[in-house]
Amino acid sequence: MKRVYQWGLLAGGLVLAGLAAAGGMVRAEETVTEAQPPLPEVALTITDQTGRSHAFRVEVASTPRQQEVGEMFRKEIKPDHGMLFVWPAPQESAMWMRNTFISLDMIFIDDQNRIHAIEEHTTPLSEGIISSHGPVRAVLELPAGTAERLGLVVGNRIVSDALPGGAH
């Protein structure tokens, strides 16, 4: 059986996009030395377990290069902003913080547009792997502390035109 993996080591990180088949992985890696310009933004809403909605403006990293660079070299993210990475199909996602100077909360989103997992207060500049712990359709990066401040938990619903079936 052949399985396809795309490892998004993004978060500010470097995408190791590859196909793993018959024991081989193709690795695309290029040196990144500066932050990318702001990407196109869309609205995104997270509805918590109490029914309260939290609105964000998020940049959408849609190309492999945009996903590769992610939040690298940026010095700040506004409290109600973030970056969204959408995969073509649900997959395991693994992230790192290489060249990322600010701590993030990573929200892993399943194929039903619900929070699958949350990694809070990531360590800037770390190359430690941050796993989605199962297949996800997207990853949302928010400023560190956002998940705790808003009381976000696994199962919360996420709505955005950028997510498949996620229009407001």
Where residue 18 falls among pLDDT bands split at 50, 70, 90?
Answer: very low
Whether the CA torsion 32, 35, 41, 46 is positive or negative: it is positive
Is residue 60 a contact partner of residue 84, using CB atoms and an 8 Å limit? yes
Question: Is 99 contained in some domain?
Answer: yes
Distance CA 67, CA 61 (A): 5
Q: What is the pLDDT of residue 13?
A: 39
Assigned domain for 4 exists: no
Structural domain that includes position 37: 20-160
Q: Establish if 167 belongs to a structural domain.
A: no
pLDDT reported for residue 31: 82
Q: Assess contact for 10 and 106: CB atoms under 8 A.
A: no
Residue 13 located in a structural domain? no
Q: Give a yes or no: residue 151 inside a domain.
A: yes
Give the CATH number, domain containing residue 137: 2.60.120.1140
DSSP state of 37: P
- Residue 9 domain flag: no
Task: State residue 68's pLDDT score.
Answer: 87
148 in a structural domain: yes
Instruction: Provide DSSP, 93-107.
Output: EEE--TT--S-EEEE
pTM, whole model, 2 decimals?
0.81
Residue 10, pLDDT above cutoff 60: no
Domains contained in the chain, number: 1
Question: How far is the C-alpha of 34 from the C-alpha of 15, rounded, in Å?
Answer: 16
Q: What is the pLDDT of residues 25-56, one digit of tens each?
A: 223 456 888 999 999 999 999 999 899 999 99
Residue 62 lies in a domain: yes
pLDDT at 165: 82
Which of 22-26, 70-74, 144-148 has the least mean pLDDT?
Answer: 22-26
Helices (H) and strands (E) in the chain, counts: 2, 9
Taking only the tens place, the pLDDT of each residue in 75-129 is 999 999 999 999 999 999 998 899 999 999 999 999 999 999 999 999 999 999 9
Per-residue pLDDT at 26: 29
